[in-house]
């Protein structure tokens, strides 16, 4: 079981709910090793389906294909000025001066196919999420949207 899956199981066992009330992430905590690896693997080329124009409203749907709960993180980065450090924290990656914001930048995906919500059967847990990328200022550089779980990573270039 992944660490995120184990955290979820422990939260359920202890009675905590992750639906809309996830424990906040300490922004000064180091990124998990798998997230550091994900950030260090930004590709140099993409297929046409992986490129978005910065002038358009961008929505990206991600889906968990694993049989376990998976935490995801999503960041926009400028690969020309972004340098990976071993002590990289969430705060360092969530650059306030970046021209793009991604919402949500973190979340929990249910196992493949979704999962019933025993507390409220009308609100099952989803194995997917839609991320919205908003341009907050103009830029002369291309950026990358980097999204991933411990098992899967997705990379999208955002052209200026």
The string of pLDDT tens digits covering residues 66-113 is: 999 999 999 998 888 888 877 788 888 887 778 888 999 999 999 999
Predicted TM-score (pTM) above 0.95:
no
CB 127, CB 69: distance < 8 Å: no
| Those residues with Cβ within 8 angstroms of residue 130's Cβ, 6 or more apart along the chain or in another chain | 59, 60, 61, 62
Residues paired with 158 in a beta bridge:
52, 143
Residue-averaged pLDDT of the chain: 83
The pLDDT tens digits of the residues spanning 48-60 come to 768 888 776 789 9
Residue 102 tokens, joined: 């991604």
What pLDDT is stored for residue 5 in this prediction?
A: 57
| Domain harbouring 124, CATH code | 2.60.40.10
Full residue range of the structural domain in which residue 66 is found? 3-159
What is the count of structural domains for the chain? 1
């Amino acid at each position: 079981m992944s660490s995120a899956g184990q955290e979820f199981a422990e939260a359920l066992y202890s009675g905590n709910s992750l639906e809309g009330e996830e424990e906040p992430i300490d922004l000064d905590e180091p990124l998990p090793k798998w997230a550091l690896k994900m950030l260090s693997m930004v590709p140099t080329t993409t297929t046409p389906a992986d490129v978005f124009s910065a002038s358009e409203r961008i929505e990206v749907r991600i889906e968990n294909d694993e049989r376990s709960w998976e935490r995801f993180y999503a960041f926009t980065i400028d690969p020309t000025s972004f340098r990976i450090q071993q002590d990289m924290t969430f705060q360092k990656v969530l650059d306030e001066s970046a021209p793009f914001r991604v919402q949500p930048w973190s979340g929990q995906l249910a196992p493949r196919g979704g999962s019933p919500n025993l507390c409220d059967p009308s609100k099952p847990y989803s194995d997917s999420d839609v991320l919205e990328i908003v341009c907050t200022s103009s830029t002369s550089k291309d950026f990358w949207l980097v999204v991933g779980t411990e098992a899967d990573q997705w990379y999208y270039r955002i052209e200026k």
